[in-house]
Every structure is written in structure tokens, then in C-alpha cells.
Structure 1
Amino acid sequence: MSLTETLQNELLALARQSIEHGLQTGRPLPAKLDDYPEELRQTRATFVTLERNGQLRGCIGMLEALRPLAEDVAENAFAAAFRDPRFPPLAAGELADLDVHISVLSPAAAMTFASEADLLAQLRPGVDGIILQEGHRRGTFLPSVWEDLPHPKQFLQHLKQKVGFPASYWSDTIQAYRYTTEMFG
């Protein structure tokens, strides 16, 4: 599903409104779904990434589509601003300098590979978002992370560390899933 520029701008405005609402009330903006076109009521998974002066300020999202797109954006924008454990809650003075980016995820597809080298050979830099999972540990990098980690081996090593493993870790029980995103903002 590709969103028109008008729909993208509507979601970006919603994300910012939810953050502003959060500053005033401590809660995300309730998305009144009847106020949105059908495309924004479809069940989709999103990530909302906040940057301030070119630096990450928060990023929260869902890997599985569980709520309508507009609701997911409102909830994730609030969570990125106030619940990302890597950052203190957003202060009102930061709002003017805040850049909001939204990534709408495709459904994730399981990858089949025989080794780490096989997995690395299948990665599509700049295209794939990857979910890495083993046991109860799971983490993801959005496709936009390729901008900072452009080499597949480096990308995978950092993702393993995010999941909680050493960069050199490998196991025959690791699972990987790929997805793409439509990113705007």
C-alpha cells in the first residue's frame, strides 16, 4: 500500500498532535477513526522516529499490525516522545525542533538460510528491515538503519548486539524475518 502525499501529511500531523496532546495530558491523542479516510483505518504496523537536530530522540513501533493505521501512529508517536527508555520524556521546549518520521511496515516474511554467511548474502541493503529472534529475545532494525550501517555484516553485528548477543554470536536456532517500509516525514 502506497500512501498519497496528502495521507502522509495527515499522519505526520496526527503524530505531532498526539505528542502535543501528551505534553498537555500525559496521554496519547485518541484517534477518532471516523474522521479518517479508509486507507488510514486499515490495520497496519508502524514505527514513529523522532529526531532533534539530526540526532535520534525516540523511536517506538509495532512489528505486527494490530490496530488501525491512524491509531497506531498516534500511540507510537506518544510512546516515542514519552516512553522510549533510552531518553527522558520529551519536554515542551523540544517540540519546535522535533522532526517526525513515520515508517509503515509491510508484513514480515520468514527468511530461510543455512548459515550466517547465507543470511548475509540474502540481505538487501537499504531495502530490508530485519527482525532477529532467538528464544524470547527479539529486535529489529528499520531499513533506514542501513544509512548508518551500510554493510550487511556490520548491520547484522549491530542488530545482534541490540538483541542482547555479542556481535560474533551465531546459533542454528536464530530466526530472521524481513520487511520493507514506506517511510516519510
Structure 2
Amino acid sequence: MSVTSSQNLNKGELTQLLDIAREAIRGHFSEEGPKSPQLDLYGKKLLEPGACFVTLTVHEELQGCLGSINAHTPLVLEVHNKAIASAYQDRRFMPLTEEQLDHLMIEVSVLSEPAVLEVRSEQELLDYLSNNKVGVILSDNYGQALFLPQVWEQLPKPHDFIRHLKIKAGWKPDHWSSSMTVKTFTVTSIEGKYFEAI
């Protein structure tokens, strides 16, 4: 189990979130189905509205990743909901199966509030990202795409990072316009095996 540097959540709280994601997925395979977390078992910080992504990998290959940008729902419920969504509702992948559970890794990423980054050109954005490996949200009149900071591990060069992000949004790799909005964010995340600590 690995933990990135924490913002407001300590390791114990992050571990609770990881357990919530595990239980949400486990509940899908039970006769009763997944049960929502019992809110009175959690501390104040985990009950505050939070935005998160839950990322699933099997044999180190992406199996599902869905989440939220804006905080509207108590964090414990958001993690529960996004774990189920990532496992069974990500249209890019077949739903998770019991046969995959032995090799399933779960990562829960809690997002900071996105902040607008004032840049006048793509080059200004690239210059900023060369020294700041943060999460990025690109928005234009007809699309939006997000990369978590973890994507820097696969795309360490700012040019490649932004190029792939634009492709994800459905734009041409060289697309840029005066209406482009850039927001950045950081995450507090924890990763662990599905069968860890059972």
C-alpha cells in the first residue's frame, strides 16, 4: 500500500477511504449488493463534501477510472459511488469480474479544489508545467478533459502530457483557442491491493 503526500487527510483517513472502495466492489459480488457506508462511523473530514477519482488496474493495466471534479457529496459516499462506477460503469472497459480480483489494485485520489491558471498561450502553460507536475483540466467551448497528476508517470514531458490531454477531449493535438480555460489541482491519494488487509 502506498500513500502520496497528504493535504488534509492523514494515513488513517486515507486507509478508511481505500477500505470503502474495497467494500463497494466486494458488495457487488454479494447477494445483498453494495451497501452505502455507515456515516456515523467516520470523522468530520471524511463527511465533508469531496471530489475524488477511483482508479482500478489489473496486471498493471487500466481497468476503470471515473471520478468527480467538484465537491457536492460527502467524501465517504463519493468514494463508494465512484468505486462502483469505475468497476462496472466505465464504458471503455468490460465490467470487472471475480476472476480479476486477485490482481486488482485500487487507487483513491482526493482532489483539491481546482484553481484557474491564467495563461495567455499554450507555451505559457507548458512553461508552467515544466516545474509543476499538477493535475490539469482543459476546457473549451465544446469539450473538457482531465488528467490526474499520476499521469505524469506515463507522460513526463509537458508537451506530450498536454497533447494527449487534448486528444482525450476530442481535439486535434495542436488545438488552442482564446477561449481555452486551464485549471490545475493536486491530489491526496492512496493505493492498495484489493485483497490487502482482509
TM class, shorter-length:
over 0.9
Secondary structure of the corresponding residue to residue 174 of structure 2: coil
Encode CA deviations 1:41-72: one digit per residue, 9 max, x unaligned.
01110000001111111101000011111001
Name stretches of at least 5 consecutive residues in structure 1 with no aligned partner: none
**Letter of the aligned partner of 2:91 in structure 1?**
P
* Cα-Cα RMSD: 1.6
2:68 paired with 1:81? no
> 1:29, CA displacement in angstroms?
3.1
In the other structure, the counterpart of 1:47 is 53
> Aligned pair 1:98/2:104, yes or no?
yes
Q: Which residue of the partner structure matches residue 127 of structure 1?
A: 133
SS in 1 for 2:102: helix
Residue in 2 aligned with 1:166? 172
The 3-state SS of whatever aligns with 2:136 is strand
SS in 1 for 2:16: helix
Amino acid of the residue matched to residue 93 of structure 1?
E
Whole-angstrom distance in 1 between the partners of 2:141 and 2:32: 34
| Stretch moving more, 54-63 or 20-29 | 20-29
Unaligned runs of 5+ residues in structure 2 are: 1-6, 192-198
2: CA distance, partners of 1:94 / 1:66:
32
SS class of match (2:30): helix
1:1-185 map, 5 Å = 1-24=7-30, 28-123=34-129, 127-185=133-191
Q: Residue 24 of structure 1: SS of its match in structure 2?
A: coil
Runs of 4+ in 1 over 6 A off after TM superposition: none
CA separation of 1:111 and 1:182: change in aligned 2, threshold 3 A: same
Report the TM-score when normalising by structure 1. 0.94
Shift of 1:125: 5.9
Paired with 1:40 and 1:126, the residues of 2 have a C-alpha distance of 28
Equivalent position amino acid for 1:58 in 2: G
Q: TM-score, normalised by structure 2?
A: 0.88
Instruction: Report if aligned partners of 1:130, 1:176 keep a CA contact under 8 Å in 2.
Output: yes
What percent identity do the matched residue pairs reach? 35
The C-alpha deviation readout for 1:48-104, integer Å capped at 9, x for no partner, is 000111111110100001111100100000000000111011111111211000111
In structure 1, C-alpha distance between the alignment counterparts of 2:99 and 2:24, rounded to whole Å: 16
| CA pair 25-176 structure 1, distance change in 2 beyond 3 A | farther
Task: Assess, with a 3 A threshold, how the Cα gap between structure 1 residues 175 and 12 changes in structure 2: closer, same or farther.
Answer: same
Alignment CA distance shift 1:79-1:69 (3 Å): same
